[in-house]
Amino acid sequence: MSPERSDTRVLVSMKGNLRKDSMMQVKYGQLVRSLHRHITLAGVFDANLQGLSRVSTALKTLHPVWRSWRERYSKHPAAFKLRSMTASRWVAHQDVDAVLQLGAMFDSRFSQEAVPNVIYTDYTSRLSAQHREGKRSPFRGDKLNEWLTLEQRAYDNAAHVCVRSNAVRQSLVDDYGIRRDKVSVVGGGANLGLLPDAVTRPIGGPPRILFIGTDFYRKGGDLVLQAFAEVRKSIPQSRLVMVTRLPRSHGLPMTHVEVIESGFNREIIRSQFPLADVFVLPSRLETWGDAILEAMAFGIACIGVTGQPMEEIILHEKTGLLVEPENPEALSQALAQLLSDRAYCRMLGASGRSHLEKEFTWPIVAARLSNVIEQVVAG
């Protein structure tokens, strides 16, 4: 045991296999490793459905579109209950002081009350339901209400709830009636391992804009293409690279646009950051802003939108620029401003990197989470 590590035993519960699922490794691997430097991790439990439970839930949620089926399967109330029963039964047989539950897709205290549970989540289902344009809320009516009731119970059962942003904390207070002192904002880290060297792009080269978002519409890819078409009128040498899944029939301008359909290939994604001058993400629904943090880690100036948790990452005119959502004109003006003043663009990128080093690395977030867990265990 390292000298600074507490002997408090904590079980991590999550919906996903941290050993086999590459997406889970990227999203939570560094957090779990960083936590182990502060507290004793007794194990990581995967609450995903298995066997007959998985088959029965899949049959209940059949849909001809694969992505819709996946969302319905994951967010059906029956799946929430089954994951909760499995996780809480497992916890009841473990010799641990606390549980750290990643996400609010189940309840680790559903049928056991002996072990305190701390939930760490980046969004709430009520926020998703309020922003249906993001297509993260697959049900309405009774099914949605049933899910919200189960989610409410999970937050009520938790000893404490940690979130990435003040926006989510406010939702827990306003939409779920959770006491403000029961919710802590701890942020989130850049999913890059060791921080890379900051980008030093030649000012004289053609300016390059980077957009990353598998979900083209939810991430605002159409808005970026509209804005870029305007930018090219004043800066014709500019280029746009989009790492996304472009819809087949979109009818949007594509001159000087390169599309890379990488899926979740981290090497391809990471290779694009050093080539970019500006990173842009005008999402219609963004639960946090992982890609923004990655761009900031490379020292790239970022453009995002207001009214999203990302505005707690990007400090307007200090570490990047923020524009109104659904506003291609404002987006094109922000892009033109940075591409036409490359020195200012570099300054924002350098400030963003410095801000990230102080606030948004997984060791920093893990230390905040560990402090909360220790306080919960101490009573």
Mean pLDDT across the chain, nearest whole number? 93
Determine the pLDDT at residue 131: 83
Region 210-214: what's the mean pLDDT? Answer: 95
CA distances from residue 297 to 31, 197, 222, 262, 365 in whole angstroms, order as listed: 17, 8, 26, 21, 16
My answer on whether 71 and 145 are in the same domain is: yes
Q: What sign results for the dihedral spanned by CA atoms 169, 172, 175, 177? A: negative
My answer on whether 365 and 350 are in the same domain is: no
Determine the pLDDT at residue 194: 87
Q: Is the pLDDT of residue 331 over 90?
A: yes
My answer on whether 305 and 367 are in the same domain is: no
Please give the tally of structural domains in the chain.
Answer: 2
Are 42 and 96 in contact by the 8 Å Cβ rule? The answer is yes
CATH code where residue 32 lies? 3.40.50.2000
More confident residue, 21 or 101: 101
Region 46-64: what's the mean pLDDT? Answer: 93
Those residues with Cβ within 8 angstroms of residue 291's Cβ, 6 or more apart along the chain or in another chain: 212, 213, 279, 281
Answer whether residue 1 is part of any domain.
no
My answer on whether 105 and 230 are in the same domain is: no
Region 330-336: what's the mean pLDDT? Answer: 98
For residue 1, name the pLDDT band (cuts at 50, 70, 90). very low
Determine the pLDDT at residue 166: 97
Q: Is the pLDDT of residue 168 over 70?
A: yes
Please give the Cα distance from 106 to 13 (Å, whole number): 10
Please give the Cα distance from 217 to 365 (Å, whole number): 30
Q: pLDDT tens digits, residue range 215-263?
A: 999 999 999 999 999 999 999 999 999 999 988 878 899 999 999 987 6
My answer on whether 299 and 218 are in the same domain is: yes
Determine the pLDDT at residue 203: 74
My answer on whether 152 and 215 are in the same domain is: no
My answer on whether 167 and 214 are in the same domain is: no
Going by their DSSP bridges, the two strands 301-305 and 117-121 should be labelled as: unpaired
My answer on whether 82 and 140 are in the same domain is: yes
Answer whether residue 165 is part of any domain.
yes
Determine the pLDDT at residue 197: 86
Region 193-218: what's the mean pLDDT? Answer: 87
The DSSP-derived string for 141-176 is HHHHHHHHHHHHHHHHH-SEEEES-HHHHHHHHHHH
My answer on whether 290 and 322 are in the same domain is: yes
Please give the Cα distance from 272 to 262 (Å, whole number): 11
Determine the pLDDT at residue 76: 96
Answer whether residue 254 is part of any domain.
yes
β-sheet bridge partners, residue 117: 99
My answer on whether 157 and 21 are in the same domain is: yes
Determine the pLDDT at residue 134: 65
Answer whether residue 133 is part of any domain.
yes
Please give the Cα distance from 168 to 112 (Å, whole number): 27
Structure tokens at 197: 């060297």
Answer whether residue 3 is part of any domain.
no
Answer whether residue 139 is part of any domain.
yes
Are 157 and 109 in contact by the 8 Å Cβ rule? The answer is yes
Are 364 and 1 in contact by the 8 Å Cβ rule? The answer is no
Answer whether residue 203 is part of any domain.
no
Are 84 and 107 in contact by the 8 Å Cβ rule? The answer is yes
Region 273-296: what's the mean pLDDT? Answer: 96
My answer on whether 270 and 366 are in the same domain is: no
User: In which region does residue 299 sit, left (phi positive, over 0), alpha (psi from -120 to 50) or beta (all else)?
Assistant: left
Q: pLDDT tens digits, residue range 314-324?
A: 999 999 999 99
Domain region containing 294: 208-359
Q: pLDDT tens digits, residue range 122-150?
A: 999 999 999 877 677 889 999 999 999 99
My answer on whether 134 and 259 are in the same domain is: no
Q: pLDDT tens digits, residue range 68-83?
A: 898 999 999 999 999 9
H-only helix segments in the chain: 22-35, 51-60, 66-74, 77-92, 125-130, 141-157, 166-176, 221-234, 266-272, 290-297, 328-340, 342-359, 362-378
Answer whether residue 341 is part of any domain.
yes
Q: Is the pLDDT of residue 266 over 90?
A: no
Please state which of the ranges 65-74, 176-185, 356-365 shows the lowest mean pLDDT. 65-74
